[in-house]
Amino acid sequence: MTQAYQLGTFVKTASPHIIEVLGTTKLDFVCIDAEHAPFDRATLDLMVLATRATHLKAFIRIAEVNPAVILSALDIGAAGILVPHVDSADDARNVVAMARYKGGARGYSSSPRFAGYGSLGMKEALRIGDEAQVICQIESDAAVKDAEAIAAVPGVGGLFVGRADLALSMGLDNPREPRVLEATRHVLAVARKAGIRAGMFVAGNAERDEFAALGADWFIVSSDQTLLRQGAQAIAHAA
**Cβ atoms of residues 151 and 159 within 8 Å:** yes
**Cβ atoms of residues 22 and 50 within 8 Å:** no
CA separation for the pair 6, 8 (Å, rounded): 7
CA separation for the pair 222, 200 (Å, rounded): 11
Q: What φ, ψ does residue 107 adopt, rounded to 5°?
A: -75, 145
CA separation for the pair 90, 85 (Å, rounded): 12
Count of other CB atoms within 10 angstroms of residue 3: 10
Q: Is 85 a catalytic residue?
A: no
Q: Which residues contact 84 (CB under 8 A, 6 or more apart)?
A: 35, 61, 62, 137, 139, 162, 165
Q: What φ, ψ does residue 171 adopt, rounded to 5°?
A: 75, 25
Given 17, 36, 55, 85, which residue is catalytic? 36
Q: Please report which residue ranges of 76-177 form alpha helices under DSSP H.
A: 89-99, 122-129, 141-145, 147-151, 163-169
Catalytic residues, which ones? 36
